[in-house]
């Protein structure tokens, strides 16, 4: 009898991600507006997001290694999603800056706690031959949530304009559903490898010395890409600069997420057939084309085409990169290997966004976007010509 590729556990984890993204993305379009309405300056918003993302980035590595050390996955998944869920109504209860910083940090800490363990569960539930399919399926459901969330926010704000604090409370509902689903997951418990008191917060960095050559080759390329991959906010700003309304801008963002959700699983299937390396390289070249083109167009239909291509890039890289990592590391180190990468990727993305923002405001949007596109082109060349030692 042929073994199912999408197991019950994979489906449940994917549904948890879907509902969590509904909650998070309901607030994504309105977060800056809400923060400004309670007195946050643009500078303070930037500091808030910087601290929040740094928290998520650094904690991914530590909690990934902790998950491997304890031989447990599910508790990290449950606590991670719980913290992210409760952070939503917390931001609506009080509007003091210190409290907002605390709530936002709790949200990102939750992401850091769960990421490595969740991806390790996906890896454990699949085989090397089906890894890209599984991560692609998870990414599809996750991104469906990212499309539903902003759409729900638009509908709510149409009928209740300005009721941002109520929206934060409503966002707790899909988060609560996500947490409830985690209790249906059955975990495969492995014997612990280390005592918790043997792990320092930055101990995950030592994995670089332990990792094999193939892992190092891959991570160097992926992090080089991250240095040029700034926040998607800059693409949305490009739409804004070309005269699109806030509603139209959010509609384009929803369109992008829908396309991304639809093609992630099929691209995962293709990656398992022809190799993850080929699909990743294609995705990087598409990214380069999109970023270079973005600075020179001003037509809504061309923007839709570019965002369609951008969805192809995203589906060809995000899930694929994690699937590739999990295929080349030892099974007992999966959460650490992914945590190491995602930690540094988060920090490098902050750096990339800072550089892009500097180029954007010092020169102009075209310079910022073209520089990112050219940089990623050379990263794609690295992957195309570097001889990896194993078939991937």
Q: Would you state the pLDDT for residue 1?
A: 45
Range from 126-130, 137-141, 238-242, 291-295 carrying the lowest mean pLDDT: 238-242
Q: Which residue has the higher pLDDT, 43 or 372?
A: 372
Structure tokens at 184: 């249906």
Q: Are 239 and 99 in contact (CB under 8 A)?
A: no
Nearest to 235 by CA among 293, 282, 281, 152: 293
Q: What is the mean pLDDT of residues 31-46?
A: 72
Q: What is the mean pLDDT of residues 337-361?
A: 88
Q: What is the mean pLDDT of residues 88-116?
A: 87
Range from 86-95, 105-114, 239-248, 313-322 carrying the lowest mean pLDDT: 239-248
Is residue 30 very low, low, confident or very high in pLDDT (cuts 50, 70, 90)? Answer: confident
> Which pairs count as long-range contacts for 8-13, CB under 8 Å and 24+ apart, including other chains?
9/121, 9/125, 9/185, 9/186, 10/122, 10/125, 10/126, 10/134, 10/137, 10/138, 12/181, 12/182, 12/184, 12/185, 13/77, 13/118, 13/121, 13/122, 13/138, 13/185
Q: Which residue has the higher pLDDT, 347 or 382?
A: 382
Q: What is the mean pLDDT of residues 337-354?
A: 88
The enclosing H or E element of 187 equals: none
d(CA 21, CA 25): 6
User: What percent of the chain has pLDDT above 90?
Assistant: 53
Q: Which residue has the higher pLDDT, 77 or 105?
A: 77
pLDDT at 145 over 90: yes
Q: What is the mean pLDDT of residues 208-221?
A: 92
Structure tokens at 160: 């209740």
Range from 22-26, 84-88, 247-251, 303-307 carrying the lowest mean pLDDT: 247-251
Instruction: Kindly report the pTM of this predicted structure.
Output: 0.88
Q: Would you state the pLDDT for residue 388?
A: 60
pLDDT at 304 over 90: yes
pLDDT at 194 over 80: no
Alpha helices in the chain (DSSP H): 8-27, 31-37, 42-70, 74-93, 97-124, 131-159, 164-170, 172-182, 207-210, 213-226, 233-241, 246-274, 276-294, 300-328, 334-362, 365-385
Q: What is the mean pLDDT of residues 360-370?
A: 89
- Taking the domains of the chain in order of start, what are their residue ranges? 11-184+207-385
Q: Which residue has the higher pLDDT, 302 or 35?
A: 302
Beta-carbon contacts of residue 137 (< 8 Å; ≥ 6 apart): 6, 10, 14, 264, 265, 268
DSSP code at position 194: S
Asked if the 11-184+207-385 domain carries CATH number 1.20.1250.20, the reply is: yes
d(CA 41, CA 194): 45
């Amino acid at each position: 009898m042929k073994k199912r590729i999408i197991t019950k556990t994979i489906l449940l984890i994917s549904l948890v991600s879907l509902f969590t993204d509904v909650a998070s993305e309901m607030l994504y379009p309105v977060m800056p507006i809400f923060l400004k309405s309670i007195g946050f300056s643009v500078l303070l918003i930037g500091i808030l997001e910087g601290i929040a993302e740094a928290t998520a980035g650094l904690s991914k590595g530590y909690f990934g290694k902790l998950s491997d050390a304890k031989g447990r996955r599910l508790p990290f998944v449950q606590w991670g999603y719980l913290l992210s869920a409760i952070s939503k109504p917390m931001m609506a209860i009080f509007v003091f800056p210190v409290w907002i910083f605390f709530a936002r940090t709790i949200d990102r800490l939750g992401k850091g706690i769960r990421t490595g363990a969740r991806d390790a569960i996906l890896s454990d539930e699949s085989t090397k031959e089906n890894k890209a399919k599984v991560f692609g399926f998870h990414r599809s459901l996750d991104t469906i949530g990212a499309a539903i969330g902003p759409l729900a926010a638009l509908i709510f704000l149409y009928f209740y304009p300005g009721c941002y604090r109520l929206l934060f409370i409503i966002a707790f509902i899909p988060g609560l559903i996500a947490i409830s689903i985690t209790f249906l997951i059955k975990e495969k418990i492995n014997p612990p490898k280390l005592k918790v008191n043997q792990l320092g917060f930055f101990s995950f960095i030592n994995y670089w010395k332990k990792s094999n050559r193939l892992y190092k080759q891959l991570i160097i390329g992926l992090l080089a890409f991250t240095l040029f991959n700034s926040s998607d906010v800059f693409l949305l700003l490009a739409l804004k600069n070309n005269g699109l309304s806030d509603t139209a801008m959010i509609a384009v963002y929803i369109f992008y997420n829908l396309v991304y959700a639809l093609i992630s699983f099929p691209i995962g299937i293709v990656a398992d057939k022809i190799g993850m390396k080929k699909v990743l390289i294609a995705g990087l070249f598409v990214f380069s084309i999109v970023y270079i083109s973005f600075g020179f167009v001003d037509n809504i239909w061309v923007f839709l085409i570019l965002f369609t291509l951008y969805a192809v890039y995203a589906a060809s890289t995000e899930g694929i990169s994690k699937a590739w990592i999990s295929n080349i590391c030892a099974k007992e180190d999966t959460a650490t290997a992914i945590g190491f990468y995602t930690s540094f990727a988060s920090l490098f993305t902050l750096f990339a966004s800072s550089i892009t923002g500097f180029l954007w405001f010092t020169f102009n949007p075209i310079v910022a976007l073209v520089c990112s596109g050219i940089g990623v082109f050379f990263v794609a060349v690295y992957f195309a010509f570097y001889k990896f030692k194993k078939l991937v």
